[in-house]
Structure 1
Amino acid sequence: MNTGRILLVEDDPGIRKFLRVALEAHGFSLEEAASGKAGIALAATAQPDLVVLDLGLPDMDGKQVIARIREWSQVPILILSVRQAEAEKVEALDSGANDYVVKPFGIAEMMARVRALLRSSSGGTAANPEIVRGELRIDLARHEVTLAGEALKLTRKEFELLALLARNAGRIVTHRQLLNDVWGPAHEHDVQYLRVFIGRLRGKLGDDPAAPRFILNEPGVGYRFLD
């Protein structure tokens, strides 16, 4: 008998019902979401062993859901989609998906893919979508930051920059890595641009560069989030 919790992110109620019956018959427990936003929230709170994800969701593209989940979790993601083009498959896999099944699908093949992904991830540690450093709390799933219980209003890039530093707490993250991961390869040498954003971020965090609590400057190299 199989075991494990599966999160199904699918807006078609007919497919959800079909998969619920099939998965539960094979011994799996199931969480369901009909939108990308709900799927991201459940991926954080339910801590599933596998995510089965449709790409054509009503509120966002499935590849955006993959990217959001990959900000904090390496849970296996199986794409279930009507999109058959090779480019779509490659883009989804490059975004962080582990496998891709095209609709319509056979349940035997579907279950084989599910079992294979669960075997390959067995023994992994559960993801934690929240980073807490003293009074600072970073919710990676909801893109929310609070300091001493007060919500901070960060831009998308400010949040991505803070999250990247916090996920690598205690380690130097180079200027090039920060610029590449947050803004893309075309900005790898825009160090002054990065300094401006770090300055804004420090201002919102109330972080004094002369006596930092969170972000330490490593001159000429990068920045370190204090652990």
Structure 2
Amino acid sequence: MTALVTILDDEPAIRALLSETLTEAGFRCQAFARATEFEAALRRTTPDVCLVDLGLPDRDGLSVVHRLALEQGATIIIISGRAQVQDRVTGLELGADDYIIKPFDPAEVVARIRARLRGPRRSATGNTARFEGWTAHFDRYALEADDGTETPFSHAEGEVLRLFLESPKRLISRAQMQESLGGAAGESFDRAMDVRISRLRTKLREDPRNPRLIKTIYGAGYIFLGEVVWE
């Protein structure tokens, strides 16, 4: 089925431009001016990609991004006029997958969406992985412990977890992570990866001072130490 893209932006001209461009590119679109309308729609359907502006009339856009990252399996792309590095870093740390600065080229938005949709879906390994007493359900973005309790993870965290589980016991450098997961290399990408890996360790009940599964190889990258079975 054609991917569904939802647009949350209070500027009518931006909504119209994105809707027209994405429809012409073959996507289905839904556009919203307010966070309350957007969140109500999410209770009825789950989009593949969410384009979120940060300057909203009824809600802080960063809080919307954070909630999306915790509760939805959609790719999250921020589109904002906030061009400071700290804004980009904060957005990525809260769970966004990408950050586009206004004014933007509509063709670039289409390209970024297509790149994200190609990303984690490239894998032929499946949607369920079992490892060291855990089960990762990528179809519903949840980690299941041996006792049956489940902990949700975000789309962004899922990208990193899948990368580790597809390459167990192999060193993954920062450059390889950037190439596999997309996004511009640099401080904001590195900070976002550090945050996502820290959150994964917490959800896997790791000792932050001596993690058992996700090891940091200082100056080189990361390695996942565990036996993995894909289903």
Match of 1:45 in 2: 44
Deviations 1:78-127 (A, max 9, x none): 10000000000000000000000000001221111010111124387665
Partners of 1:82 and 1:60 in 2: CA distance: 16
- Report if aligned partners of 1:7, 1:43 keep a CA contact under 8 Å in 2: no
1:171 aligns with 2:137: no
Could you say if the C-alpha distance between residues 13 and 121 of structure 1 is closer, same or farther in structure 2, counting changes exceeding 3 Å? farther
> Aligned AA for 2:63?
Q
**Distance of 2:139 and 2:38 partners within structure 1:** 17
Deviation at 1:45, TM superposition (A): 1.8
- Check the 8 A contact 1:40/1:69 in 2, yes or no: no
Residue 109 (structure 1) aligns with:
108
Counterpart in 1 of 2:117?
118
Counterpart residue identity of residue 91, structure 2: A
Q: Distance in 1 between matches of 2:115 and 2:43?
A: 23
TM-score (norm 1): 0.54
Q: Distance in 2 between matches of 1:75 and 1:100?
A: 15
Shift of 1:171: 3.0
Q: Aligned in 2, Cα 1:19/1:172: closer, same or farther, shift over 3 Å?
A: closer
Structure-2 separation of matches of 1:43 and 1:86: 29
What are the ranges of 5 or more consecutive residues in structure 1 without an aligned counterpart? 129-166, 182-227
**In the alignment, residue 170 of structure 1 is paired with which amino acid?**
G
Q: Mark the CA change 1:102 to 1:126 in structure 2 (over 3 Å): closer, same or farther.
A: same
After superposition, residues 19-168 of structure 1 pair within 5 angstroms as 19-122=18-121, 127=140
2 CA distance for matches of 1:126 and 1:110? 25
TM-score of the two chains, using structure 2 as the length reference? 0.53
SS at match of 1:104: coil
Q: Deviations over 1:43-62 (max 9, x none)?
A: 33221010001010101111
Name structure 2 gaps, 5 residues minimum: 128-137, 152-198, 204-231
Q: Indicate the SS of the match to 1:71.
A: helix
Q: Percent same amino acid among aligned pairs?
A: 33
Counterpart of 1:131?
A: none
Q: Quick one: distance in 2 between partners of 1:67 and 1:120?
A: 21
The question of whether the paired residues in 2 share the 8 Å contact of 1:40 and 1:68 is answered with: no
- Root-mean-square deviation over aligned CA pairs: 3.0
How far apart are the structure 2 equivalents of 1:29 and 1:50? 10
Work out which structure has the larger RCO, using CA pairs closer than 8 Å and 6 or more positions apart in sequence.
2
Q: Larger Cα Rg: Structure 1 or Structure 2?
A: 1
Which amino acid is the alignment partner of residue 8 of structure 2? V
Distance in 2 between the 1:33 and 1:121 partners?
A: 27
SS for the counterpart of 1:101 is strand
